[in-house]
């Protein structure tokens, strides 16, 4: 059986995890869960040489030094330096050009958390089986709450170890999300995909011929420098950025999905991170120097200063460099709109 | 009419206002309300040269540099350096020795807040009138809440512009404090006193002859150095420390009181300080760089770092040097027991 080619996307600013996540060192490059960063954990999940080829990493030039610091260059791996951020469809297309046409790509974000590795591997197996039959496969996540921050996928008829896709659905309102959850027919769109490189480029050429052409020309003029490959900035800048969901998945006739129950979280804000962490018997979590007195469900993370918290519940305190954030768990979702987060 | 002699006592550690109040720079020497420190405001209240003589300040040696920094040396003023902290009775006795026997002393703590200066001045006038008749006069504060952290005074029969004292009462429990408040017969003991220096020394000699003798001997061997007077350490160290309330006021036959409604607060903790401050229309108060989003009754005070607060109510955030305190308003009273506050 041929090896699977991991494609790791390093985009996104992660302002909702400000002030730890900053423009210069965003979410993927922070050790938010365990000692390895989310980016390193993404590589770790696809590091078994018996199943996976060396990874293809796609990132902006700002983050290349972080990537080279955190990922010892793996034999045969490639770092594709996006000339500018144009969302996921062009990024995946660049990676597809870097691979043989019949290579099976496993596209993974670098800023998600997956608690259950076995379930992830089973999902990969199922997805790859469908991808080998030239399906465009999305990973669906069994929903555990009526989340309004995620896209959803409605399951179609059974297909191999997965399903056909009946419909991709944008972020719903709460009432709709509750309906989705109750029906059992919907899963979260986890942002993980599997397909053949050639099949992806063919679908892109069919549904987004302009984008496909610009990516192709940018790739033709790419400059290689060690493991870095720098596609040409000129045609790339003309691309209208679009997600892979919009550009390909919603349009293809061959959309498929596998459903995985793998303890997935997009760690979309401090509250989500707290949920993914192991708290003590009072529901508290502390990282760094902190004293808690009479607290429940309090999370403290501090890089330097001591934090003392008294008599609070459901509060998150983050100290990073010259910034202190104190938020209710509910308020965590609006952290990205704070002056400190938007002005950095 | 002869001038009144202000005696300003600079004791106390103020650990409940940690981390702003530290052993090295405690509460009296911080600008907690307005631009002048509480100590400076104590001097300001008794600075009218038509009514007041130069002040006598009593403090430990640790705090003398702060006092000299914050109080330009006033003509004729004296700084008495306590050899060690022995509570208020010996401190006041030292000041009494420094003054003529017939001088009227007005003893004021340096870490309280008085919002209504006119009411304070009226209280002084009433108290001094009684002190001239050789009464030992305490300032009672009209209670506005069933406080369990203050001592109380039960009013006796009318006496001049005030009352005789029926009883001094120690800090009550809540039920008792509520009874006191409802009865109208009780006032808070504000820790402000007026009496003749000679009368005080006579009462002390009568009720605490040992203490009076040790203070007297310590004063006899005092060394003067500029405006500083340093009583001898040797006999002073033998004193068993005691408050003026215990040593004199509860024992004298000539205890009197005046009741004042002067917006008094002992600023006993962060919650009390927040109450004494002018908040905005959402009940918030900010000092230093802070962004509040969707907050009510939140106080932030920061010396350096920016503090961002989201979605909280009745929370106090203090950043000072290398310490961050986040407390509920209720929790504020236990701040002094935090490891950070006790280990400094």
> For chain A, what are the domain ranges?
4-265, 270-342
Question: Are residues A332 and B319, on separate chains, in Cβ contact within 8 Å?
Answer: no
Question: Are residues B319 and A312, on separate chains, in Cβ contact within 8 Å?
Answer: no
Query: A305-322, pLDDT tens digit by residue?
Result: 999 999 999 999 999 999
Question: Are residues B323 and A305, on separate chains, in Cβ contact within 8 Å?
Answer: yes
Average pLDDT across chain B, whole number? 95
Bridge partners (DSSP) listed for residue A307:
A290, B324
Biggest distance spanned by C-alpha atoms of chain A:
62
A131 vs B171: CA distance, rounded Å: 77
Contacts of B319 in chain A (CB under 8 A): 305, 324
B105 vs B126: CA distance, rounded Å: 14
List the 253-292 stretch of B: residues with Cβ below 8 A of A: 291
Tell me if B168 sits within 8 A of B249, measured CB to CB. yes
Residue A73 has pLDDT above 70, yes or no: no
Query: B282-332, pLDDT tens digit by residue?
Result: 999 999 999 999 999 999 999 999 999 999 999 999 999 999 999 999 999
Question: Are residues A311 and B334, on separate chains, in Cβ contact within 8 Å?
Answer: yes
> Which of these CATH numbers, 3.40.50.150, 3.90.550.10, 3.30.310.50, 3.20.20.140, describes A4-265?
3.90.550.10
**pTM reported for the whole predicted model:** 0.89
Q: Would you place residue A120 in the very low, low, confident or very high pLDDT band (cuts 50, 70, 90)?
A: very high
Q: How far is A151 from chain B (nearest CA, A)?
A: 26
Tell me if B165 sits within 8 A of B193, measured CB to CB. no
Phi-psi region at A87: left, alpha or beta (left = phi > 0; alpha = psi -120 to 50): left
Helix axes A88-98, A209-220, angle to 10 degrees: 50
- Residues in CB range of A176: below 8 A, 6 or more apart: none
Q: How far is B307 from chain A (nearest CA, A)?
A: 5
Tell me if B60 sits within 8 A of B23, measured CB to CB. no
- Please count the CA atoms within 13 angstroms of the CA of B139 that sit on its side-chain side: 26
pLDDT of residue B343: 86
Contacts of A324 in chain B (CB under 8 A): 302, 305-308, 317, 319, 324
Phi-psi region at A118: left, alpha or beta (left = phi > 0; alpha = psi -120 to 50): alpha
Q: Would you place residue A51 in the very low, low, confident or very high pLDDT band (cuts 50, 70, 90)?
A: very high
Q: How far is B283 from chain A (nearest CA, A)?
A: 17
pLDDT of residue A1: 66
Query: A266-293, pLDDT tens digit by residue?
Result: 999 999 999 999 999 999 999 999 999 9
What does residue B235 show for φ and ψ, rounded to 5 degrees? -70, -25
Report the b/e string of A52-69 with b at 16+ CB within 10 A.
Answer: bbbbbbbbeeebbebbee
- Please count the CA atoms within 13 angstroms of the CA of A142 that sit on its side-chain side: 11
A296 vs A305: CA distance, rounded Å: 21
Residue of A nearest to B294 (CA): A331
Tell me how far the alpha carbon of residue B229 is from its chain's centroid. Answer: 22
Q: In what order do the strands lie in the sheet with B306-310?
A: A285-287, A296-302, A313-320, A323-328, B306-310, B290-293
Percent of chain A with pLDDT over 90: 93
Question: Are residues A294 and B322, on separate chains, in Cβ contact within 8 Å?
Answer: no
Given B293, B322, B335, which is nearest A310 (Cβ)?
A: B335
**How buried is residue B271: exposed, middle or buried, by Cβ count under 10 Å (0-12/13-18/19+)?**
buried
Question: Are residues A308 and B325, on separate chains, in Cβ contact within 8 Å?
Answer: yes
Given A293, A306, A338, which is nearest B308 (Cβ)?
A: A338
Question: Are residues B326 and A323, on separate chains, in Cβ contact within 8 Å?
Answer: no
B208 closest CA partner among B184, B241, B231, B181: B241
Distant-in-sequence contacts of B70-73, Cβ < 8 A, 24+ apart: B70/B29, B70/B37, B70/B39, B70/B40, B71/B39, B71/B40, B71/B43, B73/B226, B73/B227
User: Best interface-test mutation with B: which of A304, A323, A324, A344 has the largest number of B CBs within 10 A?
Assistant: A324
Residue of A nearest to B302 (CA): A324
pLDDT of residue B73: 66
Cβ of residue B342 closer than 8 Å to a chain A Cβ: no
Q: Where is average pLDDT lowest: A206-220, A308-322, B62-76, B260-274?
A: B62-76
Tell me how far the alpha carbon of residue B126 is from its chain's centroid. Answer: 20
Neighbours of A112 (CB within 10 A): 20
Q: Would you place residue A11 in the very low, low, confident or very high pLDDT band (cuts 50, 70, 90)?
A: confident
A266 vs A113: CA distance, rounded Å: 6
Query: B103-129, pLDDT tens digit by residue?
Result: 999 999 999 999 999 999 999 999 999
B95 closest CA partner among B241, B195, B239, B237: B195
Provide the ipTM: 0.88
């Amino acid at each position: 059986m041929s090896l699977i080619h991991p494609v790791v996307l390093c985009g996104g600013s992660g302002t909702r995890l400000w002030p730890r996540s900053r423009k210069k060192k965003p979410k993927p490059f922070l050790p938010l869960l365990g000692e390895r960063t989310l980016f390193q954990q993404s590589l770790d999940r696809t590091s078994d040489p018996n199943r996976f080829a060396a990874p293809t990493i796609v990132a902006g030039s700002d983050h290349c030094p972080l990537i080279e610091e955190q990922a010892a260059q793996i034999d045969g791996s490639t770092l594709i330096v996006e000339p500018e951020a144009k969302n996921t469809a062009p990024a995946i297309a660049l990676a597809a050009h870097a691979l043989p046409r019949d290579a099976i790509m496993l596209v993974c974000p670098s800023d998600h958390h997956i608690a259950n590795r076995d379930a992830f591997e089973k999902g990969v197996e199922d997805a790859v089986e469908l991808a080998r039959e030239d399906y465009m496969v999305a990973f669906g996540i069994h929903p555990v709450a009526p989340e309004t921050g995620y896209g959803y996928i409605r399951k179609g008829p059974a297909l191999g170890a997965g399903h056909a896709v009946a419909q991709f659905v944008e972020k719903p309102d709460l009432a709709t999300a509750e309906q989705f959850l109750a029906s059992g027919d919907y899963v979260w769109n986890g942002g993980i995909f599997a397909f053949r490189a050639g099949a992806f480029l063919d679908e892109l050429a069919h549904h987004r011929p302009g984008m496909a052409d610009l990516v192709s020309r940018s790739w033709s003029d790419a400059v290689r420098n060690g493991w870095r490959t720098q596609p040409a900035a000129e045609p790339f800048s003309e691309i209208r950025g679009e997600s892979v969901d919009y550009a390909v998945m919603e349009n293809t006739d061959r959309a498929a999905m596998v459903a995985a129950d793998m303890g997935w979280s997009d760690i979309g804000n401090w509250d989500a991170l707290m949920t993914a962490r192991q708290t003590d018997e009072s529901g508290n979590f502390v990282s760094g120097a902190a004293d808690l007195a009479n607290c429940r469900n309090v999370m403290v993370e501090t890089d330097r200063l001591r934090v003392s918290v008294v008599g609070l519940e459901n509060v998150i305190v983050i100290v990073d460099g010259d910034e202190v954030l104190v938020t209710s768990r509910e308020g965590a979702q609006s952290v990205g709109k704070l002056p400190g987060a938007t002005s950095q």
